[in-house]
Amino acid sequence: MPDRRFPQKWKEAFAQWHYRSVGRHEKPRGGRILCYHNVSPDEASSFAAQLDFLCAEYDALPLSRFLSSLGTASARPPLAITFDDGYRDNYEVAFPLLRRAGVSAAFFVVSGVRAQTAAERAAAPEPETGGWSPRLFMTWEELREMV
């Protein structure tokens, strides 16, 4: 299995970027919500390393517990992870990595563009460059499995 640990210098660089990006030059005290859209197979190892770093620095919580955790005394600030759109790689790439890390995430899907079944998705046309196709999104079966 490949070594997924972030080298210390990368952790420090990521932390400095993160703290500057939220307008602070100190470690954040409040919670954070990170919103992803997709994680391609080529980005899987990077996403796994992000999860390792985030889990070491934050208390990763389900979105349902995130708000109630704000303002409570905790050694680490709370973190919630969300995914928008319901892209298929959320199921194929991100979900297994989240499960392995023991992290819950909220998935917000566009229900009107979902292929109803795997068979319907298989029958859908391939997406054109920049185009749309049900093949790009999770099926209802995949969504149910993630619950």
pLDDT digits (tens, 9 = 90+) for 97-145: 999 999 999 999 987 766 567 777 677 777 666 655 656 888 888 999 9
Task: Tell me the whole-structure pTM to 2 decimals.
Answer: 0.72
Q: Which domain holds residue 132?
A: 29-146
Locate the DSSP E strands across the chain: 32-36, 59-60, 78-85, 105-109
More confident residue, 146 or 30: 146
For residue 91, give the CATH number of its domain: 3.20.20.370
Grouping H, G, I as helix, E, B as strand and the rest as coil, residue 137 is: strand
Is residue 47 one of the residues assigned to a domain? yes
Is residue 141 one of the residues assigned to a domain? yes
Pairing of the two strands 32-36 and 59-60: unpaired
* Number of domains the chain is built from: 1
Distance separating alpha carbons of residues 88 and 39, to the nearest angstrom: 9
Is residue 73 one of the residues assigned to a domain? yes
Copy the structure tokens of residue 2: 């490949």
Is residue 79 one of the residues assigned to a domain? yes
Is residue 140 one of the residues assigned to a domain? yes
pLDDT band of 1, cuts 50, 70, 90: very low
